Structure 1
Amino acid sequence: MDNWILELVLTVWSQRPSRKCHRYDGYPQAATNRFGQNGENHIDRVISMGRGILEQISPIRALIFRFRSPVCKLLGLTSQELQWRFKIITFKSTMGGDSRYEIHQNAYIKLVLHAIKHKTSAVNGVLLGSTSASADVVEVVDAIPLFHSQLSILPPLEISLFMIEDYCSNNDLSIVGYFHANERFDDVELGTVPKNIADHIHQYFPQTALLLLDAKKLEALLKGKDRSPVMQLYTKDASRTWKLVGSDGKSQFTLKEPAANTVLSDYISSEKWKEIIDFDDHLDDISKDWLNKDLFK
């Protein structure tokens, strides 16, 4: 293995964060510990190589995982932990601006049904998924409806995220984004609450997708006038602000199954939205399943 590649691995992973805190903050100190006073700048120098390194990410990744066993043994990591920490480097360099996002039918439908059930309230949810090997595609495979009242109260949010993180760790998933629907039909502004919650998720997953329900598109869908996704995608750009994606005509957010909107229309017509359960419901009655496992049976 080339020395600089091994040095990169040792620099980033010589200090292991806890399983619940996949953060980048401790890595400069790890570099200092390993390389002395100039070590703190070492990882910044590597990351600053920017796109030049990213063009080599796939072959580098292949080389590292070819030597997976000795590297894992050296660093005291499992194979899965090694793969996760390598993705952090890729995420920190791409920042999600050039990523594409695909949402699976069931995840998409859950979020919309949740908003329809509580159409006079603001609602929210989190997106679960994974990334492609090259980290350029974020795939949203599931969604968890969160709340329909008092979205910004911290204790219930912390409880729900803790339970969801535990579920993800046991199912090889990650929290990859956040969904929000505003209270008013004509409100398409991205408010403070969704930004703050998405900011928190972004600390752990830099390609975070922030989805905002577009009620007018939903209305057009029900009238048979539009079949495009009824959500707007926001991602963080280099200026660290949430920007609407797709306003330039480029489509970075797609439905995994082309017929998803047809199925959604059928579910709305049959009032399937009455069966959706969110964390508010679960906290009121813990027998109610916040995973909605029986929703599509």
Structure 2
Amino acid sequence: MTADVRTDDGCRLWADQAGTGPPLVLCHGGPGMWDYLGPVARLVDDHARVIRWDQRGCGRSQRRGPYTVDRFVADLDAVRAHLAGPRTALLGHSWGAHLALRYALDHPERVNHLIYVSGTGIDPDRGWHPRYERNLRRRLGAHLPRWEALGVRAGTPAEERERAVLQWSADFAVPDTALRHADDMATPWLGVNAECNRALGAEAKRELSESDVTARCRALEVPVLIVDGTEDIRPRWGVDSLHRALPNAERVSLVGAGHLPWVEDPQGFRRAVTRFLTTH
């Protein structure tokens, strides 16, 4: 069932909810993308009432700023208040994992579980991005020249989609199915908000450098599940310091899965998430 959520500054956010049970709000990655977590919802909607949403400026939500971390935290709070109730579980993927963590740090009394999927951690000094770039180029393989050519200039929507599909294919561990999985992510194609991506990416990096996120994580009592795929091209050691800082965290690494572990190990992902939600 779809719904519109209005934020305190009047921005319209697209949302959807399905399933029965305690609320679980999903936060998609990007930033600047749209919700692609329908498969996650279908894996767990017999254990939770799953709420998905397109972040501000993305997908089916209204195309307007500002694109700041504080603003996105406030938008998530609006989704929570409108659809989930006083307290909710949160699941964030990639950039969405950072958003969900930041929300839990700001509003721990409104979060009962936090599931941090394929995030990149809280350590600004270890420099995971150069390793990611090398791994991306290596995994693109024969598709690398075309991906590079498509990035030289602003393209048509079809060319933007083609480049995204090629890039996202590197997020899957099995070459034979990677392009198909990436094409599924890009269908329907709702366009990536590049302005949103740049603004939030830069602010999140600056925030990790200038604020003591580690100390705030040490004080977080909310139970946290960290889920990784062992074949993610973003180095998983980037999350080690986050795991060490959280006082009530466990970590599950799904062997042979990439950046979207629910795609390549759906049953392992379902087991980890549903066990966490029902035993903590």
- Tell me the TM-score normalised to structure 2 length: 0.28
| Greater RCO (Cα-Cα under 8 Å, separation 6 or more) | 2
- Tell me the TM-score normalised to structure 1 length: 0.26
